[in-house]
Amino acid sequence: MSLLNQIIAAVFAVLIGLVSGTIYIMSDSSKSMLTSQLQSHSKDTATNLGMHMAPYIAEGDSAAIETIVNAIFDSGYYEKIQVTNFDDEDLFTALRSPEISDEVPRWFIKLIAFDTPNFKRPVTYSWAKVGYVEVKTRAGYAYEELWKGTQTTLIWFISLSLISVLFISTLLRIILKPLKSIEAQAIALSNKEYIEETKIPKTKELRSVVITMNSMIARVRTMFNEQSNNIEELRRTAYLDELTGLANSRSTNAQLSDKLDNRDDEGPCALYYVHIADLTTLNEKLGQENANNLIKQLAEKLNALGDTHTGAIVGRLSGSDMILLIEQPDSDTVTREVNSLLDAYAITFNFFNPGSAIENPVHIAAILANEDVSAAQLLSTARVAIDEAIANRQASTFKTLFDNASETTSADWSTYVADVVNSKKIFFQYQTVIDSTETKVLQKELLVRILNQAGELCTAAKFIRIVQQLGLIEALDKAALEQAVSYLHSHSDSEPLAINISLQSLEDGNFDQWLMHTIADKAIQGRLNIEINESSVLNNVTRIASFRQFLTKNGIGFGVDNFGVHPSGFSYLYQVHPDYIKIDGSLCQQITTSAEDRFFMGSLVTVAKSLSIPSYAERVEQPEQIEQLRLLGIAATQGFIHGKPENLNDL
C-alpha cells in the first residue's frame, strides 16, 4: 500500500475510533437522560392517575378505573399500569408486551441494555389511603428513540467523514506529490538511470530529501562519466594513432580482418590506400613539425571522406601509409573520390612546401573487391599497386578484384533479388549465443539468406548491396521480422531469437504501428530480441531510445550490436539502456595475447555492469578466447567456436 493510502487509512481509522467513542458516550448519556425522563414520566403519570381515580379507587369502581387507565395506556408509552386497593387487591391491570421493534438491531439492545423505571404511588382520598397506582414505562419505546438518534448521528458522521476523507486525500496528494518524483528517481536509479528532479518542493523535509537525492544522482553520474572518460582515454592510447587520431596499425588490421574475414553480411568494398613516398627525405626537407602537420592534414581529409560512408574503416598502418575502406562502392564514385583526395592533397602539400620543385609524394591506390576478398589479399594488392604507381610516377592507380561474371554485378541478379525480397522468399540461418558456463543457449541470432537462381543458399554479402541500392532494406527488415514472429508463435519451445534491423526502417514513421500489428495476438513475449548496430544507435539516439521503450512495453528485448568501436563513447547507454550489448568481434581477436585488449575489454564489461547490462562477445573462434572472456566478466559468447550457422527453417 502506498504511503498516501496508508495515511488516509490511518486518518479514517482515527475517525472511526472517534465516532465509535462518541456514539458510545452519546448513547450512554442519552440512556441516562432517557431513564430519568421515563422515571419522571412514570411518576407524573402515577400521580395524575392517582388524583383522578382516587374516588373510584375508594369506591372500588373497576369500570371507571379501566376507562381512565385505557385512555392513558393507549398512548403506547407504557408497559404496565396496575391499580390496587389498600389491601393490594387488583382493581385493574393494563399490560403490553415488552417486545422491542425489529427496527432496533439486537447488537444495539445488548450494547446499551438498561432497566426501564417502575414507579408505585399510594392514592389517598379524604385524607385516607385507599390504594396504589403502579406505572412501568415500555422499554421498547426507549430503545427505539435511542436507535433513531444513533442512526441520525451515524448518517451525519458518514457523510462528514466521506467529505473529510476526500478533502484530506486531495490535500495529502498535493503535499506528498514530490514523493512520486522521489519514487520515480529511486526506481530509475535501481535501473541505472539518473534523473534529477527540477521541481524542488517547499515542504522542509521533502525539500531536503529531493535535494539529497539529486546530489547523490549527480555524484553517481559524475562517477560514471569519469569512468567512461578513463576508458575512452585508454581506447585512444591503445587503439588510436597519436599523431593523426586515426585507428593505429593494430586496431586497423583487427577491424579489417573482422570485417572482411569473419562477417558474412558484408558486400563489395573499395580500399583507398594512401602512401607518402620517401617520408624520411620529406622530413628532412620540410622539417619534422611541418611533415607531421602535413600527415595530420592528409589524415583529416581521409577521415572526413570516411564520415560520408556508413561503416567505413579509417586507419594508419604505418608512418607513411593510411587506408580507408568503404562499403558497396561503384567505380564512378571511387574515381571521383580518389581524384578529389589527390586535388586536396596537392593543395595541402603546396601549402607546406610553397614554390618547391619537390613532387607531391602522395600516391593513392584504389582497389575494388567483391565480398569474397580477404583482408590480407586486399592489402597486398594495394601495396603492389602503390609500388607500381611510384615506379610509373603516377599519383593514383586503380585495380579491380571483381569477377565480371559474378552474379553480384549482373543486371539479372538485381532483378532477381528485388523479386525475392518483394515476395518475401527469405530464409534464416542462425548462430547460437551461449552463456559463459557453456551450458545454456541464451538466444539464436538470425542470419538472413535467399536462394540464388540455381537454388543455392546465398549469404547477405551476395545481395545486401543490391537491396540497399534498390531501396528495399525496409522491405527486407519487415519480411525478416514477420517470419521471425511467425516462427516463434508456432514454436513455443524455441529459444529466444535475435534479429538485426536497420536505422532506415526505424526512421519510417509507421514502423512502430506496423510492428505492433505484426506481433498482435502472437505468443512472443520475452522470446524476441531486436538488435541495432552501435553506429546506427549513435546516428539517432532519440529515436532509438523511444523505440527501446516501445519494445519494452511489448515484451521485446533490445540489444546493441558491434559495441565498443565507435569513437563517440558510451554515454548513450544512459538514454537507451539496452537489455544487452554485443562487443564487436574486432576487440576479441587478440584477447589472449594483448594485455591492452584484455584491459579495454574488461573496462567495457565494467561500464555495462555498472548499468546492469550484460555483455556478449561476438565472433569468438578459440577455446582460449572463451576462458579469457569468462575471466573478464563476459556473460555469453557467439561465434564459430559454437558451430557454423545452421538452418532455422526448411529451404
User: Domains in the chain, ordered, with CATH?
Assistant: 3-163 (3.30.110.200), 191-239 (no CATH), 247-400 (3.30.70.270), 408-647 (3.20.20.450)
pLDDT at 567: 64
pLDDT at 24: 67
Which pLDDT band, with edges at 50, 70 and 90, does 428 fall under? very high
- Greater confidence (110 vs 306) lies with 306
Reported as a single tens digit per residue, the pLDDT across 61-90 is 888 888 888 888 877 678 788 889 888 888
Reported as a single tens digit per residue, the pLDDT across 315-362 is 999 889 999 998 877 788 889 999 999 999 888 888 887 766 667 888
pLDDT at 193: 64
- Greater confidence (599 vs 433) lies with 433
d(CA 639, CA 275): 35
Task: Report the pLDDT averaged over residues 586-611.
Answer: 85
Length of the chain counted residue by residue: 651
Reported as a single tens digit per residue, the pLDDT across 513-535 is 999 999 998 888 899 999 999 88
Q: Yes or no: say if 599 and 571 are a contact pair by the CB < 8 Å rule.
A: no
Query: What is the C-alpha end-to-end distance of the chain, expressed in Å?
Result: 55
Please say if the pLDDT value at position 405 is more than 50.
Answer: no
pLDDT at 544: 93
Q: Yes or no: say if 247 and 256 are a contact pair by the CB < 8 Å rule.
A: no
pLDDT at 557: 95
Please say if the pLDDT value at position 47 is more than 90.
Answer: no
**Lowest mean pLDDT, pick from 183-187, 228-232, 406-410, 530-534:** 406-410
Query: Which residue is associated with the grid cell 523511444?
Result: 546
Phi, psi of 411 (to 5 degrees): -65, -35
Strand pairing category for 362-369 and 396-400: parallel
Which pLDDT band, with edges at 50, 70 and 90, does 550 fall under? very high
Please say if the pLDDT value at position 407 is more than 60.
Answer: no
Q: Which residues of 590-604 are buried (b: 16+ CB within 10 A; e: fewer)?
A: bbeebeebbebbbbb
Task: Report the pLDDT averaged over residues 481-504.
Answer: 92
d(CA 96, CA 118): 14
Please say if the pLDDT value at position 57 is more than 60.
Answer: yes
Residue among 636, 633, 562 at smallest CA distance from 599: 633
**Lowest mean pLDDT, pick from 117-131, 178-192, 386-400:** 178-192
Q: Yes or no: say if 507 and 540 are a contact pair by the CB < 8 Å rule.
A: yes
Which pLDDT band, with edges at 50, 70 and 90, does 448 fall under? very high
pLDDT at 385: 92
Reported as a single tens digit per residue, the pLDDT across 629-639 is 999 999 999 98
- Greater confidence (465 vs 376) lies with 376
d(CA 317, CA 273): 10
Strand pairing category for 457-458 and 441-451: antiparallel
pLDDT at 404: 42
Task: Report the pLDDT averaged over residues 428-443.
Answer: 91
Task: Report the pLDDT averaged over residues 581-590.
Answer: 88
DSSP assignment string, 286-327: H-HHHHHHHHHHHHHHHHHHHHTSTT-EEEEEETTEEEEEEE
Amino acid identity, residue 597?
A: D
Cut 0.75: pTM above it = no
Task: Report the pLDDT averaged over residues 365-389.
Answer: 88
Reported as a single tens digit per residue, the pLDDT across 149-163 is 777 877 887 787 778
Mean pLDDT, the chain, integer: 83
pLDDT at 120: 86
What DSSP designation does 358 have?
Answer: P
Residue among 498, 524, 491 at smallest CA distance from 429: 498
Reported as a single tens digit per residue, the pLDDT across 274-299 is 999 888 888 888 888 888 898 999 99
